[in-house]
Structure 1
Amino acid sequence: MKIRHIPVLAAFFLSAFQISAQQAGCPDRLAVNYDPEAIVNDGSCRYNPANIAPLGSLNLDAEISETSGLIFRDNMFWTHNDNTDINLYALDTLYGKVIRPYPLTGLTNTDWEEITQDENYIYIGDFGNNSGNRTDLKVYRVARQSIPGNTLQFDSICFSYPEQVDFDSESYDSDFDCEAFIVSGDSLYLFTKCWASNTTTLYSVPKSPGTWDAKMRSSLNVNGLITGAVYIGEKRVIVLTGYSEKLKPFLYMLYDFTGTGFFDGNKRKIDLLLPYHQVEAITTTSGTRFFITNEAFSYEPLIKNRQKIHLVDLRSFLGDYLGLSVPVPDNLNSFIISPNPTNEYILVQSLPELIPADYFLINISGQIVKSGELESDSSVVNLSDLSSGIYFLRIGTEKRHAYKIVKE
């Protein structure tokens, strides 16, 4: 008998060997353990602490003081409250003003905490569970074409957590609260808000009407409470919002994962320079510019923050991964300053090994008008208290790095 398939078999085994031989590691140039030889992302990337300030913020109307979910659709933002209000509010994107409310007649708002969408439906998560005692968790599935319309077309996706056996926990002490989810393929993916452990657990539920047991996928230690999510499927990017128990808000970026292994790729936490803002929701219009809402929060007489919408640009964190023409610090360009000229803030990016570093801001008279320490390889320096003019940013004490800054 002649053996005719030896070349085919040889090619198959060679291909399999080449795939298995691909080096696993951290392929993200922004990570402290970046491996330029890595082909396969094994989820091991580690990052220095980083923070970001909004490019701008707008007050929202009083009728959406408890804004809790946010999507971008038909060139408008859409949000809802997390109280008994059954309206979906359309907002203009220029000023954040309510264009009009759309009552979702027939739905009940026990605790609407999130909204997401696919090509055919809008999904509203009625799964807020601060006390951990709800047995009526559900997601409303609303046909997109019925908003606006005279007759709302909707059904319900009911679910429970099989791991939950105790429904008598104290308020704000349960790991079965949820305020964030996305839709992908045939399923909804929930990111729990874990009051007890400060982690988040990923659950999946079919996106079809019915009653389901949520399937636990994996968990991630976020050291905080997750409150919102946005998913850019074609780019394999998820950005979560959250805050610490001391109401220090943050973003948590998940990217360069495979399939629905959302916690298996890069995981990076970015602090938001919005102290005591209870951030609740996030959406994007471009994949790099993200809009975040916070509900009203007061602790008088010390704190009184109105409901707002904020714009943040994550190009400096995601641009390299997304293949955009974004400069990345390297040995020839150790520090990158942006934006420049600026109105309020500058972002100072650097090689991780150069951090921490002292900085000095010097006016044209040679006086040091501001100084401090860069604690992260992506540090924000607030210039809002300085007059317009030309300044020089000196980094380090050896005077090797100096940059001209224009404050408008």
Structure 2
Amino acid sequence: MKYLAIFLFFILTNHSFAQVVENIDTLSIDDYKMETLYLPPTLNEISALEYEKEDKNVASFWGLNDSGNKPELYRFDAKTGEIINTIFITNAPNIDWEEISTDDNRIYFADFGNNMGNRKNLAIYFIDKKQVDFSNPKQELKAQKIEFYYPEQAIFQFKNLTTNWDAEAFFIYNDKIHIFTKEWSNLQTTHYVVPIDTTKKHAAQKLETFKTNYAVTAAYINTDKNNATNGIYLLGYTKDALAFINWFDLPKNNEDLFFTSQVKKISLPLGFTTQLGQLEGISVLATENKICFSGEEFNFKGFYAKQVMHCINNFTN
């Protein structure tokens, strides 16, 4: 939360900046019903959101807190916000955890937050789903580690909130890790891929860049082409603290390029983070036609928003 406060101080004392993107359709949040669930204090710096698909007994989400907090994954009830499972990761300190994603077999979480631009220890961890015991409210597990770096980055000097080598967003697709940078000065995102391989430190492969005009804080993909919510989602906020979701069609032929001119792009302004919370997690409940996004507690210069999850119902109706 402290980084958005610094970011807001900068924009409140400087010029206004809004999202301007060509060839993109814009929706109105007023056309949707949004529900709000306040989360417990344990999740006051929630930086990730992933719907739990395996447990059919209770609707729930996975979340985590970012830099300096306990190295724990939390599963919470989608209706009450109550934490029902806590997994302590025994071998992964929380330097700056960001984002959770899953595939059929694993739960992934990233330690690649890099607000200062000086980190050389970027990693993504995973645990096997079969290790998770839903009946055990507190569990300790060891994670496996995938290390990577950006080969284009040559300078690692301390640059507070001006670096283009920060990241808070990724998902799993085509058996690869797809990373979306949070570029503080360029206000765009660069799409990288890293293999799911723990045997060596990988050079992230740069694929494409998209001018969001906001800082990207979360990403999600729904690959079910028979579901109306299929596509790629990016979440973030502008220098005005205005939050956005961008929604892209799935790429044709299952390719790894998402931002080509042929892909349909939709923008949904959500409102201000000073009211919604510092938004850093997004997940899609495809069968319920619902999009949910989470926000950290926000408290700065008279603005306050509690840690929260918002859900947009009937998104594609």
Specify the TM-score bucket, using the shorter chain as the normaliser: 0.7 to 0.9
After superposition, what is the alpha-carbon deviation per residue over 1:244-280, rounded to whole angstroms, capped at 9, x for unaligned?
A: 1221111011114222221121122210034423100
Q: Distance in 2 between matches of 1:60 and 1:255?
A: 31
Q: Distance in 1 between matches of 2:257 and 2:180?
A: 13
2:153 is matched with: 164
> Could you tell me whether the CA contact under 8 Å between 1:187 and 1:206 is conserved in 2?
yes
Q: Distance in 2 between matches of 1:283 and 1:239?
A: 9
Q: Distance in 1 between matches of 2:24 and 2:168?
A: 27
Q: Distance in 2 between matches of 1:49 and 1:220?
A: 19
1:215 is matched with: 205
Q: Distance in 1 between matches of 2:33 and 2:181?
A: 26
1:134 is matched with: 119
Within 5 Å, give how 1:184-199 maps onto structure 2.
Answer: 184-199=173-188
Match of 1:66 among 38, 42, 45: 45
The 3 A distance-change label for structure 1 pair 271 and 48 is closer
Letter in 1 for 2:25: Y
> Could you tell me whether the CA contact under 8 Å between 2:90 and 2:142 is conserved in 1?
no
1:374 is matched with: none
Q: Structure 1 stretch 52-61 or stretch 204-213: which is displaced more?
A: 52-61
2:4 is matched with: none
> Could you tell me whether the CA contact under 8 Å between 1:143 and 1:153 is conserved in 2?
no
Q: Distance in 2 between matches of 1:207 and 1:221?
A: 27
Q: Distance in 2 between matches of 1:66 and 1:151?
A: 21
Q: Distance in 2 between matches of 1:81 and 1:167?
A: 25
Structure with larger Rg: 1
After superposition, what is the alpha-carbon deviation per residue over 1:331-382, rounded to whole angstroms, capped at 9, x for unaligned?
A: xxxxxxxxxxxxxxxxxxxxxxxxxxxxxxxxxxxxxxxxxxxxxxxxxxxx
Secondary structure, aligned partner of 1:145: helix
1:348 is matched with: none
1:176 is matched with: 165
> Could you tell me whether the CA contact under 8 Å between 1:133 and 1:169 is conserved in 2?
yes
Cα deviation for residue 281 of structure 1 reads 0.1
Match of 1:96 among 81, 90, 98: 81
Q: Structure 1 stretch 175-184 or stretch 284-293: which is displaced more?
A: 284-293
The 3 A distance-change label for structure 1 pair 226 and 187 is same
Within 5 Å, give how 1:43-54 maps onto structure 2.
Answer: 45-48=23-26, 50-52=28-30
Match of 2:61 among 54, 77, 90: 77
Cα deviation for residue 142 of structure 1 reads 1.1
Within 5 Å, give how 1:5-404 maps onto structure 2.
Answer: 45-48=23-26, 50-52=28-30, 55-73=34-52, 74=55, 75-83=59-67, 84-148=69-133, 152-209=141-198, 210-235=200-225, 236-258=230-252, 259=254, 260-264=256-260, 265-276=263-274, 277-286=277-286, 288-300=289-301, 302-313=302-313, 315=315, 319=316, 326=317
Q: Distance in 2 between matches of 1:164 and 1:267?
A: 29
Letter in 2 for 1:145: K
Secondary structure, aligned partner of 1:68: coil
> Could you tell me whether the CA contact under 8 Å between 1:146 and 1:153 is conserved in 2?
no
Q: Distance in 1 between matches of 2:26 and 2:286?
A: 26
Cα deviation for residue 222 of structure 1 reads 0.4
Letter in 2 for 1:175: N
> Could you tell me whether the CA contact under 8 Å between 1:201 and 1:219 is conserved in 2?
yes
Q: Structure 2: any 5+ residue segments left out of the alignment?
A: 1-21
1:383 is matched with: none
> Could you tell me whether the CA contact under 8 Å between 1:54 and 1:273 is conserved in 2?
no
After superposition, what is the alpha-carbon deviation per residue over 1:304-345, rounded to whole angstroms, capped at 9, x for unaligned?
A: 111001011363xxx3xxxxxx4xxxxxxxxxxxxxxxxxxx
Kindly report structure 1 stretches of 4+ aligned residues shifted beyond 3 Å. 48-54
Give identity over the alignment, percent. 29
Letter in 2 for 1:257: P
RMSD value over aligned CA atoms? 1.9
Secondary structure, aligned partner of 2:90: coil
Q: Structure 1: any 5+ residue segments left out of the alignment?
A: 1-43, 320-325, 327-408
The 3 A distance-change label for structure 1 pair 250 and 96 is same
> Could you tell me whether the CA contact under 8 Å between 2:50 and 2:63 is conserved in 1?
yes
Cα deviation for residue 284 of structure 1 reads 1.6
The 3 A distance-change label for structure 1 pair 298 and 216 is same
